[in-house]
Amino acid sequence: AKRHGRGRAVRYAPGMIEAVAERHALERDLRLALADHQFHLVFQPIMTLSNDAIVGYEALIRWQHPTRGFVSPVSFIPMAEETGLIMPIGAWVLNEACRRATLWPAQQHVAVNVSAVQLRSPKLLAHITSALADSGLPPHRLEIELTETALVEDGPQVAHTLSALRQLGLKIAMDDFGTGYSSLAHLRDLPLDRIKIDRSFVSAALHDKHSMAVVKAITQMGSDMGIVTIAEGVEDADQLALLRSLGCDAVQGYLIGRPERQMNYCPPAAISTHV
Residues forming contacts to ligand C2E in the complex (CB under 6 A) are 44, 60-61, 72-74, 77, 93, 113, 115, 175-176, 233-235, 253-254, 259
Distance CA 59, CA 275 (A): 30
Q: 235 contacts which partner out of Ca ion, ligand C2E, none, CB within 5 to 8 A by kind?
A: ligand C2E
CA–CA dist 167, 186 (Å, integer): 19
The partner in contact with residue 94, picked from ligand C2E, Ca ion, none with C-beta cut-offs of 5 to 8 angstroms by kind, is: none
Sign of CA dihedral 270, 273, 274, 275: positive
The answer to the question of residue 176 lying near Ca ion (CB under 5 A) is: yes
CB of 204 to Ca ion, least distance (A): 15
Which entry of ligand C2E, Ca ion, none binds 128, CB below 5 to 8 A by partner kind? none
User: Is residue 239 near Ca ion by the rule CB under 5 A?
Assistant: no
- Least Å from the CB of residue 233 to Ca ion: 8
Check residue 249 for interaction with Ca ion (CB under 5 A). no
* Residue type at 241 in one-letter notation: A
Partners of residue 143 on adjacent β-strands: 111, 171
Q: Which is nearer to Ca ion, 148 or 232 (CB)?
A: 232
- Does 148 bind Ca ion (CB under 5 A)? Our answer is no
Q: How far is the CB of 149 from Ca ion (least distance, A)?
A: 11
Residues 59 and 111: beta-carbon distance below 8 Å:
yes
- The smaller minimum CB distance to Ca ion, of residues 131 and 195, is found at 195
What is the distance between the alpha carbons of residues 152 and 174, in angstroms, rounded to a whole number?
11
Q: Are 54 and 45 in contact (CB under 8 A)?
A: yes
* Strands 54-65, 109-113: pairing kind: parallel
The answer to the question of residue 219 lying near Ca ion (CB under 5 A) is no
> How many residues form the binding site for Ca ion (CB under 5 A)?
5
Instruction: Report the distance separating Cα 127 and Cα 87, nearest Å.
Output: 9
Nearest CA among 114, 200, 188 for reference residue 149: 114
Is 143 one of the binding residues for Ca ion (CB under 5 A)?
A: no
Report the residue number, 88 or 259, with the smaller CB distance to ligand C2E.
259
Q: Would strands 142-147 and 171-177 be described as parallel, antiparallel, or unpaired?
A: parallel
Nearest distance from C-beta of residue 96 to ligand C2E, angstroms: 9
Residues that bind Ca ion (CB under 5 A): 113, 145, 175-176, 232
